[in-house]
């Protein structure tokens, strides 16, 4: 049921710094239940590195993954600020406004903004 999808964390990003991120849509094969998640890390040199890690994890749980685009996240945990910007050359630009809404649920006391700036 919905519990397995609910168990998937909506956000997994590095606690500090500027790094690439992707917006991923999880879906049960054959439609039905779906959910968007945010993943970002400094460890990823390219956006597809993040997807290549997330995809098998989610397939194991029985979800199909689709990357909806990417960008960058600047995470300042000291000032409690997150900025979402940029794009992915491979996947295109994620809808940063969607990303911000997902981040706001996780980082409730943060100031979270987005823009189409490249840097």
Place of tokens 């996947």: 91
Give catalytic status of residue 47 as yes or no: yes
Q: Mapping DSSP to helix (H, G, I), strand (E, B) and coil, where does residue 103 land?
A: helix
Q: Mapping DSSP to helix (H, G, I), strand (E, B) and coil, where does residue 26 land?
A: strand
Residues forming the annotated binding site for substrate? 20
Q: Alpha-carbon Rg of the chain, whole angstroms?
A: 14
Residues forming the annotated binding site? 20
- Please list the active-site residues: 47
């Amino acid at each position: 049921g919905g519990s397995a999808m609910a168990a998937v964390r909506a956000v997994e990003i590095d606690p500090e710094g500027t790094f690439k991120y992707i917006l991923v849509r999880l879906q049960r094969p054959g439609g039905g239940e779906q959910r968007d998640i945010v993943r970002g890390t400094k460890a990823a040199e390219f956006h597809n590195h993040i997807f290549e890690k997330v995809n098998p994890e989610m397939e194991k749980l029985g979800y199909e993954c689709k990357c909806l685009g990417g960008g960058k996240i600047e995470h300042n945990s000291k000032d409690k600020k997150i900025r979402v910007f940029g794009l992915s050359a491979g996947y295109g630009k994620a809808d940063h406004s969607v990303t911000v809404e997902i981040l706001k649920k996780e980082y409730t006391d943060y100031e979270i903004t987005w823009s189409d700036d490249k840097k």
